[in-house]
Structure 1
Amino acid sequence: MNASAPAPSGQKTGTKKKLGLFSATTLNMSQMCGVGPFITIPTMIVIMGGPQAYLGWILGALLALCDGLVWAELGASLPGAGGTYVYLREAFGKRTGKLLPFLFVWTAMLFIPLIMSTGIIGFVQYLSWFWPDMSQTTGNIVGLVLIWLVVVMLWRKIESIAKLGNVLWGIMLLSIGALIAAALSHFHADLAFSFPPGAFNLTDSGFWFGLAGGLTIGIYDYLGYNTSAYLAGEVENPGRVIPKSIIYSIVGMLAIYLLMQVGVLGVVDWHRMLDQDSAAYKSVASVVLSETWGTGAANVVTVLILITAVASVFAGLLGGSRVPFEAAKDKVFFDGFAKTHPDHAFPTWGVVSMGVLTSAGFMIGRLTDLTTLIQLLTTVMILVQSVAQIISLFVLRKTKPHLARPYTMLLYPLPAVIALVGWVYIYLASNHNAPGAYPIQWSLLWVVAGCGAYVFWARAHRLWPYK
């Protein structure tokens, strides 16, 4: 059992540094896209009430880019695997002991696998294109089996994972390219830009709540731009690779998402997506291919979308499994999570726990709905990761001015301030956009429960505030 502190960049930490710029960028993009846009394009239309949903993708990219620059500076400066955990530890460790790093791991062990569970939900949803009479129980079984197949895929060396990730990334681009090409080949501008009356009425509170909902869906689809930062301990030359992989992946996915949204709306009348029981809502990409290139093409692309969903979950669980691993090595989480596979040097408990919690999240999502699940996951993530991490950037700039920074944020602190405002805006509007689910209250309850868990854990280990 490896219980040592994280080694400086360049030393062995139980995992091997093998990911270059291309592999890091492809992992980011695989995680960012996945099945997300294929299932959220109709959701964005429902939330925003028409083609003004384009704003959700554009503003989502802006928020992701500003927040990505925070990740870029912190990841390049502190390239230990684990991402936010490392940044909070370095920024607040002397003031509050291990409380904030503990809370992050506590929260990440929830929101990372639950976000991955949405990819499995999307997989089952698109599988219904081939299996329209699939029952709820059968869909549940299919999703759970798929999750554990992904765990088996992760049960290997990082070199093999990087190669497999590149292949899955190529399949993802092929499925997206086919959808965009089919849509543009039968594109009707009058459909794509048929905005309803009052679509941009800035004096209407409904517009701003709808925009917050669209921004939430948008940022959900961009999540994953930080995967390379989570894997920083396994990245070659992190000071150069991490910032570039984040920026390249966000800009690339913005272009792809806009082409997808415009193309889809140029073929399928957006009013059809308002019926959440329709094929246009459940499997809009398959509908586009069916109505442009025929059923055969729709079937082929639907298979590619199913593979793309697997790629997303694969990349996300890979990065997420390293969070408790890094924390356990630093004595901020259960010791078992520091254990690595004797032959392949990957964190065994991290991989297994991600599988278990993704399975739980999948079942929760199947009993509610995708939009509500995204709102719940986003609010939990915002408090302990997004907001706390931005604050940690400001703290480290002040308290550690001589910290080696291979990359520094452009136009500092403007991007960080924009990101902070964007996250707070999403958070405050979440209760309105998920009526009856109370995402704000649940997120606060989870943090309070984490504080309680920390109190008992700190007392047992004689740590702050008991030391």
Structure 2
Amino acid sequence: MSSAPSLAHQLLRRKPVEQLRAEAAEGVDGQPLRRTLGVWHLTMISVGATLGTGILVVLGTAVPLAGPAVWISFVLAGVAALLSALSYAEMAGAVPTSGSSYSYTYATMGEGIAWVCGWCLVLEYAVSVAAVAVGASEYVDETLRVFGLHLPAVLSAPPGDGGLVNLPAAALVLVAMLVLLPGAKESAWVNTLMVLVKIALLVFFVIVAFSAFRIGNFEPLAPMGAAGVSAAASRLFFSYIGFDAASTAGEEAKNPRRDLPRAIIGSIALITALYILVAVAAIGARSWTSFSADEASLVRIVVDVTGQPVVALVFSIGAVIAIASVVLTVLYGQTRILLTMARDGLVPKVFGRVSARTGTPIANTLIVGIVVTIVSALVPLGELADATSIGTLIAFALVNISVIVLRRTQPDLERSYRVPFFPVVPVLGVLFCLFLAVTLGAGTWIAFGIWMVAGAVLYVAYGRRHSTLA
């Protein structure tokens, strides 16, 4: 009888790319996910997970840092995001599974790093869904104010914030969970409709803002200099988080090796173009000195230009739809990450069961949805939500490293897309992610450290003993 492998051996053992591809085709217990998503759906998943509350409030915090040059900050942040997006595109084409960066690191750096990456993704997806849902309650309340109504604090805030339960946040997560249950194709169509609505909302803003455009508002262009532009770019980078959501749909894409790279790069291009257009229009319509982090800048500009306060209703409803789209797509990504980890034995098997009728992980979706609903309803997230930034940046950095490792270890592996200017692009991607991670506050690092210790305990207590990799 052979002895169990040592911990060091388990942490370093890798899962071959060929095995990952075979498992994706076979599914769990012979029940694969249904391949129903084309490049359009995949692109909308990434756009839906990225284009949300960020652009609706980000100008108020970024403009005071960069001045009229905030649009340049968007360009810099978009380029930084593109560096990681290109690496994601190569890995998604080479390893088209639902595990995203977790699977990529499993194939290149071993089970230990894969667990770290997967645990970071659980933090990124679950906490960010709750945080975004909590933010939705403010827009719901703003919508009700147009009709002279108001949500009492007892129903719109958790106990730590002076209330009893955040009912709008809980309701939003529950609705997203129910939408995901019938199947990926059905939920993808709902997400597509919501994405189109919020794109239309931003286009409407641009049209209104350009009607009051003044070129003089761009003078001086960078009153705080290059340092201010860079500081704003670092903050704006987090408005791009979410483009990797399409990579979690690798086992439900009709042609993942062709369509995933297109969806990832296409979503970044679309989002960056929208951000820059909105920033230019906003600065042109309003002096940069009047922007504040304490107000919804886009809503205020439209009200000032049109003179019609009722537009606040339109924008508030649009904001709720934008948030709902983010909640839906990120919750989807969370369930698919856990499904892949369950297939590898690192988390309980219940997360990997796929319904023969719907072709979706129903139990997984229900468990994740209910847990996130409770968190969003009862927990004041505060600075804990910032920990999602660390989880995201570490996952991004590991994907860039995975590209380098896989190119070295399997140079002849068939790839549907290759990162240009290798290895410069992935190296720059790693450096930029590490730079942004270092700039985060000490409280965020402490919260992240606690999370990782909990993950290490879970791996040793459960994952190590149930891992399916021989």
Match of 2:122 among 92, 98, 109: 109
User: 1:180 maps to which residue?
Assistant: 206
- The farther-off stretch of 69-78 and 311-320 is 311-320
Distance of 1:215 and 1:363 partners within structure 2: 32
Separation in structure 1 between the aligned mates of residue 385 and residue 377 of structure 2, nearest angstrom: 14
Q: Which of 308, 333, 341 pairs up with 1:319?
A: 333
Letter in 2 for 1:189: I
How many angstroms does 1:351 deviate by?
1.8
1:20, distance to aligned residue in structure 2 (A) = 1.0
TM-score, scaled relative to structure 2: 0.84
Distance in 1 separating the partners of 2:404 and 2:69: 35
- Find the partner of 1:449 among 448, 454, 458: 454
The reply on whether 1:150 has 2:167 as its aligned counterpart is no
Residue 409 of structure 1 aligns to a residue whose secondary structure is coil
Contact 2:347 2:463 in 1 (8 A): no
Amino acid at match of 1:90: A
Q: Give 1:264's match in structure 2, choosing from 265, 268, 282.
A: 282
2:431 to 421, 437, 452: 421
Q: Which residue of 2 aligns with 1:434?
A: none
Secondary structure of 1:165's counterpart equals: helix
Residue 211 of structure 1, CA deviation: 3.0
CA distance in structure 2 between the partners assigned to 1:193 and 1:150 by the alignment: 44
Question: Would the aligned equivalents of 1:99 and 1:454 in 2 still touch at CA under 8 Å?
Answer: no
Q: 2 CA distance for matches of 1:9 and 1:457?
A: 22
- The equivalent position to 2:109 in structure 1, one of 88, 92, 105, is 92
Tell me the number of residue pairs that the alignment of Structure 1 and Structure 2 aligns. Answer: 434
Alpha-carbon separation, structure 2, partners of 1:10 and 1:83: 12
Note the aligned Cα RMSD (angstroms): 2.6
Give the equivalent residue in structure 1 for 2:85: 68
1:403-440 deviation line (CA, Å, top 9, x unaligned): 22111111111111111111111011112xxxxx5222
**Alpha-carbon distance change, 307 to 11 in structure 1, aligned in 2, over 3 angstroms:** same
Deviations 1:372-428 (A, max 9, x none): 455422113323x12222222221111222222111111111111111111111011
Normalising by structure 1, we get a TM-score of: 0.85
Q: After TM superposition, give the deviation of residue 64 of structure 1 in Å.
A: 1.2
Report matched runs for 1:39-58 at 5 Å.
39-46=57-64, 48=65, 50-58=67-75
**CA displacement, residues 322-374 of structure 1 (integer Å, 9 cap, x when unaligned):** 00101111212211111123421211243234324534664688452xxx455
Partner of 1:439: 444
Q: Which amino acid aligns with 1:156?
A: P
SS at 1:226 equivalent: helix
Unpaired stretches in structure 1, ≥5 consecutive residues: 432-436
> 1:60-459 to 2 correspondence within 5 Å?
60-93=77-110, 98-132=111-145, 133-139=150-156, 140-193=166-219, 197=223, 199-200=224-225, 202=227, 207=228, 211-212=230-231, 214-274=232-292, 276=294, 281=295, 283-293=296-306, 294-359=308-373, 362=376, 366=380, 368=382, 372=383, 375-383=386-394, 385-431=395-441, 438-458=443-463
Decide whether the 8 Å contact of 2:345 with 2:468 is kept in 1. no
Letter of the 2:389 partner, please give it: T
Q: CA deviation at 1:167?
A: 1.5
How far apart, CA to CA, are the structure 2 residues paired with 1:330 and 1:228? 21
Deviation of the 1:22 alpha carbon:
1.2
CA distance in 2, matches of 1:91, 1:9: 17
CA displacement 1:113-160 (0-9 Å, x = unmatched): 222234323422323333455444332211111111111111112221
Aligned partner of residue 285 in structure 2, secondary structure: coil
Quote the offset at 1:78 in angstroms. 0.4
